[in-house]
Structure 1
């Protein structure tokens, strides 16, 4: 009994402190080393000792699979918060532009009044800035996020992003003029862009290879769920309550994420091997041996440090240049298809077509289609080739946008009566096929066409380019509508999708079922000769 207490005491102390104590671990080894076989075969106490060496688990998970899924869901609350930021414009801007926003402050210049409370009224141009500045802030947040996480840690970087998001919602809710809203949206956008770059690496670090594709897609699913949530809370028709409900998401993210351990890869890169082992045990469960995985991780870190490249060296390799060309091209046609204007201005678009269903309700239906398609896109990505999905997705998006543009022109010419299901059905098809192909595949291919030593920097550049394009398209959308009306604007987006089909057909390689070496050889112009099988006929007597 005394021997068992000696064995258990160091582990219990380390659990109460929440950290691994290397000195206690050595005492465990010395005190229980001679009896390890007896403990393994008789009463299984070695498993309990292994468990006590880890930080507290989410649940008593022996395989680690459930823990990985729960942890991925928690960290992707950041993606959920990003989706809420996007959907806020659809719900709030109609209130601002119609002058229904009330502030308990005194009357001042730039406010209209109903005799009791002053109201903040935005012009169409100011409203477009309010919507698009989120994407401009995301551009400035995405590019440095990778470098910051490498120096300060994946967990710390993601955890502290909740602060600017909360600050942004406070500014949006309390600002008496449009400039405070500008600042709030820009600050929130910086957090949104950093989330888009910082969340996927954390998931890659904690996930096992056989479930990594499913866990990586969680980002897009949670982002879509955030958009749907933003449309649903838009039913309250109050920007103050909208901001409060939106601010609750980053607060929940901070509270939940603070209990998760740091990325094992980051801990190992900082020389904290005991803490990295504890983090691995946390995510792999008490029944799995993590020594082999730690050994592989050490080799990967050495290789990464040896072959690490700078941003300038990204453009020195022919294969990397072609990979950047492919990733940039996909982002161009993804954004020029008009997906963010549709998400940012959903209610205004439905009002333009004067549908009988109330615009918030129509936006919720569209958001539900986005969530459903994003969730089921994982099955398509496993079974259907990337190029096929991209081609079909772009084609279906072009048809849906073109159909909506034709309907608008017919309605404007009084050749067709107003119909609710045409704009609702076409936009639901648009966001659904986008979520199944054009949305996730460009991000997925970043992991498939870039070598590990350049992947993080290439992802940061591509993400920054993505958000810069989103800013430009979202800001210019209102200008296009004012200049050429919504019908021709939709035609422009449809033509862009058609050009995207040609880009995919001629320039985008197939990556499904192919190794990185094969893809890099194709970029370098190296084609392996096919093996020919010679058949010799043997005549039988």
Structure 2
């Protein structure tokens, strides 16, 4: 008998009735408020598995950052030892995004078919297989094959990690825990920038194996996503996983009943494909997710990050000082906003972030304009540094983290696979487009480039204000109901 037939024959209905039984006895309890306080205390004492599961998952996020940060500090050493031309090394650096596009396309299907843990395990194996050809490389081909493999792993990680965390976290923890995903990406990039100055490029490739190994082994000790288990009809495993994540003494009956009820409703819908995302019931969620991914990338972040040293040099400021300050500020602000995510709200952080990005672009653009016009030459470098710090601080405050958090929240579980794949693919296409054209744009007009980014960030403010809902403090089921009824 298939899973679908089992559900149609009442498997989830029986479980739903069993889960709701404990709720009936408490409905008229005069001491309900005292029980709620006791439950809150139990919840705080029982989150160790939730935190462990999040730690294991974000090892994949750190791996993403390590892959993205690897090419910058190793460029001169690899080119010298392997006698590569600038064009050959450029292929090596950029091919990561092509692999990530392929990974993004297939990530949702893999995560839906073999589970969130299965997708992370596959990605870890592929990433390990990518670092080894780089370590043993004797020429460009081996480097490119390894880098392409790493890109594929990054594409899967960038989708499945925030989705897994969003599906295991309680609503009051979801934003902060999901934001740790981007924090670890930032940490991976920054740490590789730093240790890349003291380690050889081959040793640095071996270091990239560590987060993959930790994640691969850690997956044996954490539960699968309860929502995915419920969707697949694994009732006993679903309840056991949810209980393990919430704590053995925590009453999960209401949360489990809500999940089962929601999944049962979704089972009545046909299996979603990519083309189904244009249906009216999903269109709002698709517009929000894809729009945020486009604004995140076309606001200029990938180009600025890949060539931040050159931006500081062009502005007349020491590149080493600027790059280190840039990296440290990115990590600090991302960590701070991960804490604020469930307090300030997603929408508020996005508005603040987009506004700061607009101001940062105006400051940097003004600096380049003054330099070109040979006006206020002593002020222009300082203005560029201030603008870059405002830019990266603002990006880290919201636009870097929040689109991934919202993407993991707003799609119903029956379309989360294709919708997540689409969102991830759009993000990586945008990353490639901006990183590829950035140097051409800067050659055309340095201040014109940042004026263009400023205009895009201004449009992003309007987009967030008009279309993006607040998801703070809501269950995934409540979020999707609110979007569909809007």
TM-score with structure 2 length normalisation?
0.80
Q: Which moved more, 1:446-455 or 1:84-93?
A: 446-455
Task: Determine whether 1:137 maps to 2:96.
Answer: no
- Structure 1 portions without partners, runs of 5+: 1-60, 103-118, 523-541
1:172-211 to 2 correspondence within 5 Å? 172-211=134-173
Following TM superposition, by how much is the alpha carbon of 1:295 offset from its aligned partner in structure 2, in angstroms?
Answer: 4.3
> How many equivalent pairs are there?
440
- Structure 1 counterpart of 2:290, from 322, 328, 342: 328
Structure 2 counterpart SS, 1:307: coil
Residue matched to 2:114? 152
- Greater relative contact order structure (CA < 8 Å, 6+ sep): 2
Residue 437 of structure 2 corresponds to which residue in structure 1? 476
User: Would the alpha carbon gap of residues 169 and 396 (structure 1) be closer, same or farther in structure 2, given more than 3 Å must change?
Assistant: same
> Cα offset for 1:372?
1.6
Superposed, 1:43-442 pairs within 5 Å as: 63-96=45-78, 99=79, 101-102=80-81, 119-123=82-86, 125-236=87-198, 238-290=200-252, 293-312=255-274, 314-356=276-318, 359=320, 361-384=321-344, 386-415=346-375, 416-417=377-378, 421-442=382-403
Q: Give the C-alpha shift of residue 506 in structure 1.
A: 4.7
- The offset of 1:298, in angstroms, is 3.4
Q: CA 1:312–1:80 in 2, change beyond 3 Å: closer, same or farther? A: closer
Residue 457 (structure 2) pairs with residue 497 (structure 1): yes
In structure 2, the CA distance between the partners of 1:395 and 1:285, relative to structure 1 (3 Å rule), is: closer
Show structure 2 runs of 5+ residues with no match. Answer: 1-42
Greater helix share, 1 or 2?
2
Deviation at 1:336, TM superposition (A): 0.7
Cα distance change on mapping 1:282 and 1:327 into 2, 3 Å: closer
CA, structure 1 residues 458+413, in 2 after alignment: closer, same or farther (shift >3 Å)? same
TM-score by length of 1: 0.73
Q: CA deviation at 1:312?
A: 4.9
Per-residue deviation, residues 64-94 of structure 1 (Å, max 9, x unmatched): 2122112201211000110111122332235
Instruction: Check conservation: 2:52, 2:222, Cα contact below 8 A.
Output: no
Q: Which position in structure 1 is the counterpart of 2:484?
A: 520
Report the CA distance between 1:189 and its aligned residue.
1.0
Match of 1:209, SS?
A: coil
How far off is 1:239 after superposition?
1.9
Conserved? CA contact 1:122–1:178, under 8 Å: no
Residue 209 of structure 1, CA deviation: 3.0
SS in 1 for 2:85: coil
For the 8 Å contact 1:403–1:426, the answer to whether it is kept is yes
Q: CA RMSD in A?
A: 3.1
Give yes or no for contact 1:401–1:491 (8 Å, CA) kept in 2. yes
> Which of these two proteins has the greater Rg computed from alpha carbons?
1
Counterpart Cα distance in 2 of 1:298 and 1:228: 42
